[in-house]
A and B are shown apart, each in its own frame.
Chain A
């Protein structure tokens, strides 16, 4: 075990997998010599050479199509898109090809690749550098969408994503990259895709979130516990496939649900979580479920980002509404 932050844990995952499997390669803008703008691929080109850690031209659709081509030929590309806001031109390749070549050829051709991209606000970034559109990706059948919230999960989930036979979009919170360190094994290990994790057990209310919102959820749960409210906190970790079982089992016990997302409110993934609970558990609910979300606005300039992002105060207020309903 070694103390690692999320950035180091991701780097370690890439290093392990490139060591273990020569089909794994990394490509994207500035990932080679520069080690990526967030330094996630730091040192990899030196170790594995420019044919396995590849600096590409500045073209996101090109990176995606090129990676799909390499995956079809038997490689396991891990493509980096520098910021989620620049993923848009690549959605054509992602949604029309990466996600459905398996289906179109009834399983003859497959696209085992990972698309890593930093997402989310809160680091005083420029316009277009703070997007969270995980729900749009989750809406594309054939894609998997993963969002870790801890260094340990980040490494295990990235390794699982690389070993997965299907395309996985792997979202990395810019705010969590260097937020804190925790013990992480230096060797390879996996964290299963499609499994949520109960981070804190509780009996009064289920609080669900993912990625950068998780530290806020834990803080809110801790604060209200001092006043005697017992909160179960669940980290979804995998947006798609989604672990309905873990969430619904929890809500069945607590009877109350608050879902927190950084993304805009309209058709966000929180809506999916609540729908699954509503379809299954309406008669077990003590109160209507509640969302605490971003707003239906483009992510604002950073002077205003503290208003746009759900904070502990808004989360606690949401929890209180559900508890006093």
Chain B
């Protein structure tokens, strides 16, 4: 089934290629270097995602939220950002983080339960993962308005998901952005599933894009598995924001091909047929066919990219796994700019307890004396 056939009737929907990579209108004429870049990031994102899932299955990574199937929505939008634009992620934007210079090892560390993964490398214009759903939306609006007041001329790209549009913070953030004309683009990765709850149970609206209208700014409905369409739509929206035309909402219609997180089992709530059908609409596959028709893609080129990605991934895994132990101090040092007297006491107490540890949790005997 074509993606268009999955949509509500008569919606304006932006798409450049169909599921087999054939142009649906005129060729958007994007630069060949950009097209190659798009393919590289999608491939790298896919392979990195595969690796993260494998590491989780081997007990080397904690609960992980996979991105497979959403690479076009992430790569198209993140590549549309200028150097000075800022990113507010949700928690399923692997390719976007990497495009914005957050190394894969940081993402691995984060999901390994290590706060050092959350330290953005200096100069990076991306905020850390936001776990509580849609809480980033009003923050991104405030940040964008601040950047406008500071006349920096940049814009903010804020990600969220289809489930996130149900939260109160979504409404409040969108409304503030509209009222203040903040230079922010809200990109909803509508992957159609919020864990087990389908998009149609999240909202009775025909589309998520139409919600933009209610807040007084454009809502753009775009094929989220079409990397060029997402790129062009996001670029236009970011440019408009920077020109002072205010915010936009983009609904990137895509599909979460795997589980919500590695703790989830999608077989409990959706059919194999549906998943199979979306395999057929996979963004990488489509774009590969387009590039092949164009004479840009060859198997040898992809093989080279695969080797390069695997190399980078291997290095990142090594870096993440060899980072060295955390110290108890690191739990206390960043609560306030200066440790309070209470925190100093508590750290001292913990260190003393750890140094003089007598009992392991599964001990059957108490070593030493006891009154």
Question: B-contacting residues of A (Cβ < 8 Å)?
Answer: 29-30, 32-35, 37, 55-62, 85-86, 88-89, 124-129, 216, 219, 223-224, 226-229, 265-266, 295-298, 300-305, 307-308, 311-314, 316-317, 320, 323-324
* Contact between B62 and A227, CB atoms less than 8 A apart: no
* Contact between B132 and A85, CB atoms less than 8 A apart: yes
**Which B residues touch A228, using CB under 8 A?**
370
Is B114's beta carbon under 8 Å from chain A? Answer: yes
For the residues of A in contact with B, the DSSP-based class is loop
Is B194's beta carbon under 8 Å from chain A? Answer: yes
**Which B residues touch A57, using CB under 8 A?**
163, 166, 197, 201-203
Q: How far is the CB of A318 from chain B (nearest CB, A)?
A: 10
Report the separation of the CA atoms of residues A290 and B371 in the bound assembly, to the nearest whole angstrom: 16
Contact of B114 among A89, A219, A301 (CB under 8 A): A301
**Which A residues touch B342, using CB under 8 A?**
265-266, 296
* Contact between B335 and A55, CB atoms less than 8 A apart: no
* Contact between A58 and B133, CB atoms less than 8 A apart: yes
**What is the chain A residue whose CB lies nearest that of B265?**
A34
* Contact between A58 and B197, CB atoms less than 8 A apart: yes
* Contact between A316 and B366, CB atoms less than 8 A apart: yes
* Contact between A303 and B114, CB atoms less than 8 A apart: yes
Provide a sorted-by-A list of 5 A–B residue pairs whose CB atoms are within 8 angstroms.
A33-B196, A59-B166, A89-B168, A126-B111, A317-B356
* Contact between B343 and A296, CB atoms less than 8 A apart: yes
Given A35-B268, A124-B62: A30 and B169 within 8 A (CB)?
Answer: no
Report the separation of the CA atoms of residues A301 and B63 in the bound assembly, to the nearest whole angstrom: 12
Q: How far is the CB of B36 from chain A (nearest CB, A)?
A: 35
Contact of B268 among A33, A59, A265, A317 (CB under 8 A): A33
Binary per-residue interface labels of chain B (80-114) against chain A in the complex, 1 for a CB within 8 Å, 0 otherwise: 00000000000000000000000000000001111
* Contact between A227 and B366, CB atoms less than 8 A apart: yes
**Which A residues touch B132, using CB under 8 A?**
85-86, 88, 128
Is B361's beta carbon under 8 Å from chain A? Answer: yes
Given A59-B166, A295-B331, A301-B114: A37 and B346 within 8 A (CB)?
Answer: no
**Which A residues touch B328, using CB under 8 A?**
304, 307
Report the separation of the CA atoms of residues A304 and B112 in the bound assembly, to the nearest whole angstrom: 11
Report the separation of the CA atoms of residues A304 and B118 in the bound assembly, to the nearest whole angstrom: 14
Which 8 A-B residue pairs are closest in the complex by CB-CB distance?
Answer: A302-B113, A34-B196, A227-B370, A57-B166, A58-B163, A223-B366, A313-B359, A323-B371
* Contact between B366 and A300, CB atoms less than 8 A apart: no
Is B350's beta carbon under 8 Å from chain A? Answer: yes
Q: How far is the CB of A306 from chain B (nearest CB, A)?
A: 8
Report the separation of the CA atoms of residues A1 and B132 in the bound assembly, to the nearest whole angstrom: 40
Report the separation of the CA atoms of residues A86 and B356 in the bound assembly, to the nearest whole angstrom: 37
Report the separation of the CA atoms of residues A238 and B23 in the bound assembly, to the nearest whole angstrom: 64
Contact of A125 among B63, B112, B115, B269 (CB under 8 A): B63
* Contact between B346 and A265, CB atoms less than 8 A apart: yes
